[in-house]
Amino acid sequence: MKNTLFTPYNMNGISLENRFLMAPMTRSRATQPGDVPNKLMAEYYGQRASAGIIITEATQVSMQGMGYAKTPGIYTQEQIEGWKLVTDEVHKKGSKIFLQLWHVGRVSSSKVNGLQPIAPSAKIAKETTVYIFDGAPNGDATFVPVEEPREMTQEDINQVIEEFRIGAKNAIEAGFDGVEIHGANGYLIDQFLRSNSNERTDNYGGSKENRVRILTEITEAVAKEVGTEKTGVRLSPFISFKDMTDPEILETIQIAAKELESIGVTYIHLCEADWADAPEIPNDFRVQLRENFSKTIIATGNKTPEQANDLLGNNSVDLVGFGRKFLTNPDYPKRVELNAEMNEISDNHTLFGGGTARGYTDYPFLEV
Domain assignment of residue 315, given as a range: 9-350
Q: Is the confidence at residue 127, as pLDDT, over 90? A: yes
In the chain, what is the straight-line distance between the N-terminal and C-terminal CA atoms, in Å? 30
CA distance 241 to 244: 6
In a domain, 2, yes or no: no
CA distance 308 to 48: 19
Question: pLDDT tens-digit profile of 67-84?
Answer: 999 999 999 999 999 999
pLDDT score recorded for residue 23: 98
Q: What is the pLDDT of residue 137?
A: 64
Q: Hey, which residues does 351 pair with through a beta bridge?
A: none
**Would you say residue 345 lies in a domain?**
yes
Mean pLDDT of 116-132: 97
- Residue at 356 is within a domain: no
For 89-98, the pLDDT digits (tens) are 999 999 999 9
Evaluated on CA atoms 71, 299, 348, 329, the torsion sign reads negative
Q: What is the pLDDT of residue 275?
A: 67
Lowest mean pLDDT, pick from 10-19, 138-147, 307-316: 138-147
DSSP conformation class of 342: P
Q: How far is CA 366 from the centre of its chain?
A: 28
- The share of the chain scoring above pLDDT 70, in percent, equals 98
pLDDT band at 282 (very low <50, low <70, confident <90, very high): confident
Q: Is residue 176 part of a domain?
A: yes
- Is the peptide bond prior to 33 cis by the omega test (within 30 degrees of 0)? yes
CB atoms within 10 A of CB 244: 22
Per the domain annotation, does 358 fall within a domain? Answer: no
For the residues 287-300, what does the mean pLDDT come to?
98
pLDDT at 42: 98
CATH number at 165 reads 3.20.20.70
In a domain, 114, yes or no: yes
> So what's the pLDDT on residue 136?
66
Long-range CB contacts for residues 210-215, cutoff 8 Å, separation at least 24:
211/252, 212/252, 212/255, 212/256, 212/259, 214/120, 214/157, 214/160, 214/161, 214/189, 215/181, 215/183, 215/189, 215/256, 215/259
Higher-pLDDT residue of 134 and 116 is 116
Per-residue pLDDT, 139? 75
Q: Mean of the per-residue pLDDT values for the chain?
A: 96
Is the pLDDT score of 276 beyond 80? no
Q: 316 or 368, which is more confident?
A: 316
In a domain, 300, yes or no: yes
* pLDDT tens digits along 298-337: 999 999 999 999 999 999 999 999 999 999 999 999 999 9
What pTM does this model have? 0.98
Which of the residues 44, 187, 267, 332 is marked catalytic?
187
Mean pLDDT on 222-239:
97
Peptide bond into 330 cis (omega under 30): no
Number of domains in the chain: 1
> What are the tens digits of pLDDT across the range 43-66?
999 999 999 999 999 999 999 999
Q: Is residue 187 annotated as part of the catalytic site, yes or no?
A: yes
Is the residue at 46 inside a domain? yes
Q: What is the pLDDT of residue 278?
A: 64
Residue 279 pLDDT exceeds 80: no
Look at residue 368 in the predicted model and tell me its pLDDT: 67
Cα separation, 282 vs 284, in Å, equals: 5
